[in-house]
Amino acid sequence: MIEEASMREKAWLDVSITRCPWCGRYFADASWYVVELESDIECGDCHKTFNTKKQLTDRVMLEFRIDEKGKTRETKLTKLTKHI
């Protein structure tokens, strides 16, 4: 597939997937929040608190293709393997 010239700019977001140990609901948060801050969050479903870093199940990189106006045109999932 040939990329259009207007979609050559890229940006990335490092995302961590965590799972509530109480009810099993999954959450996606920015990895700096999970891995660097090791934040506790309250589950939106069961309202119990858990530590995101301890409940980390996956970590991926989202790639954003951005046009010349700074608007996102598409996203792509890029697997990170070095952290987990």
The distance of closest approach from Cβ of residue 40 to Zn ion in the complex, given in angstroms and rounded to an integer, is 13
Give me the 26-55 binding string for Zn ion, x by CB under 5 A, dash otherwise: -----------------x-xx---------
> In whole angstroms, how close is the CB of 80 to Zn ion at the nearest point?
25
Q: Which of 7, 22, 39, 64 binds Zn ion (CB under 5 A)?
A: 22
At position 11, the amino acid (one-letter code) is: A
3-class DSSP state for residue 17?
strand
Check binding of 4 to Zn ion (CB under 5 A): no
User: Maximum distance among all alpha carbons in the chain?
Assistant: 48
